[in-house]
Amino acid sequence: MFLFKRLKIRSFEMGLHFRDGEFRGLIGVGSHWIFDPFNRTNVEVVSRRAPFLAHEKLDLIVKSGVLKGYAQVIDLQDDQRALVWIDGRFARILPPGQHVVWLGQREVRVEVVDVRAPRFEHVDLKVVLQSATAREQLETGAVNRGCVGVLFLDGRCAGLLDPGPWAFWKRSADVRVVEVDLRETTIDVPGQEIMSADKVTLRLNASATYRVVDPRKAVCTIDDHKQALYREAQLALRAVVGGRELDALLADKEAVAVEAAGLLAPRAEALGLAVASLGVRDLILPGDMKDLMNKVTEARKAAEANLITRREETAALRSQANTAKLLADNPTLMRLRELEVLEKVVAGGKLNVILGEKGLADRVLNLL
C-alpha cells in the first residue's frame, strides 16, 4: 500500500480535489504529493484548453468560491440566455443554469440576453444561426425576396417581418410567420358558363392581375386571399355578362373587362389587394349557336354582295340612259358615233348585219 500519491498538473491543466466525495479545492500547476493511506482522495485533472468546465458536481465547485480568478461563472435564470464568443468566433448559446468558463487560456466574451422579448435580433444574426446550439434554443426561418412576413405571437398579429432571416426564442411565445408575396400575381378564371341577358349560355375565359398592398388585412381577413379574389372575379364577370345581350358582348369585350374590373376593385381592396388589370381572353359559344351565327354572317355577306351588284347594274343602266339621251339631243354626235362603228366594221375585214332603228340601218347601207 502506498501512503503518498504523486500528481503532476501541467500549465494548461487544473486539478479538482475531492475527498470522500466532497469537493476540497483546486490543485494548481506543478508536482504534488498527496497523503492518502486509505485511498479516500480523488483528484480529477481537467484541461483548461477546453473553454467550459463540465462536471456533475459543478454546483458544489461553484459554491466553494475557489474558481474566482481562474474561471468565470455564468448563472443564467429562466428568462436569460448567453452568447459565448471564443477567440473572436461565436461558440454557442448557453441555456439557463450554471456554466463555468476558464480564463487565461482562451479569449472568452459572454453576452447575456433577456428572452422575455421573444424575437432575437443581433448584428451577427447570420453567424449565430449557423451554430448547432442555435437550433436548440431558437425557432428560425427566413422571408424570401419580394415577400413580407406577417408575424403572429400567441395567436395575435404582432407586426411584419422584412425579407431575410428571423429568429425567436423557443418557449417564449407561440410563433407563427405567414409569408405574403408582394409581387404582381396573375390568376386565371377559366371556363365560366354564364347566361347573357338574351338567354344565351356561353363560356368565358378571363384572367386578373393583382398585388397585395396590405399584408395584415390579406392574412387576417380571409384564410386564402387568392381563392377569395378568384370567387369575387367570378361574381363580377357574371354580373356584367348577365346584364348584356350577346351582340353587345361580342362587339366589345374590352368594355366587359373594364366594367368587371370596376366591380372587382372595391371587393379586392377589402381583402388588402389591388387589382392591376382584368381581361377577357375568350368568349366561347355553344355548337348550335356557332352554326346559327355562321348562317347569319353568311346571309349578311350574301345580302351585301347582292346590294353591291344591284348598285353596279343601276349605275350601268343610268350611264346607258344618259348616253342615249345625249345622242338623241345631238345629231352630230350621233353621226360621229355611227362613223366609229363603221370604222370598226371595215377594219375587221368582214361584213356584219346591224339591226336597229330604221333610219340607222338605211344610212349604213347608203354609206356602204
pLDDT of 364 over the 80 cut: no
The residue count of the chain comes to: 368
Contacts of 360 (CB under 8 A, 6+ apart): 338, 354
68-121 confidence digits (pLDDT tens): 889 999 999 999 999 999 999 999 999 999 999 998 888 889 999 999 999 999
**Strand order from edge to edge, sheet including 71-76:** 52-53, 97-102, 71-76
Query: What confidence tier does 250 reach under pLDDT thresholds 50, 70, 90?
Result: confident
Q: pTM of the full predicted structure?
A: 0.67
Average pLDDT, whole number, for the chain?
84
Buried b or exposed e, range 118-153, using 16+ CB within 10 angstroms: bbbeeeebeebbebebbeebbbbebbeeebbbbbbb
What CA–CA distance (Å, rounded) separates 256 from 260? 6
Mind giving me the DSSP string for 337-360?
HHHHHHHHHHHTTS-------HHH
Asked if 122 and 165 touch (Cβ cutoff 8 Å), the reply is no
> Higher pLDDT residue, 46 or 328?
46
pLDDT of 290 over the 70 cut: no
pLDDT at 74: 92
In this predicted structure, which of 85-94, 266-275, 292-301 has the lowest mean pLDDT? 292-301
Tell me the domains of the chain and their CATH numbers.
1-111 (no CATH), 115-182 (no CATH), 185-285 (3.30.479.30), 330-368 (no CATH)
Most confident of 42-46, 159-163, 276-280, 353-357: 159-163
H-helix or E-strand spanning residue 260: helix 253-270
Residue 26 carries which DSSP code? E
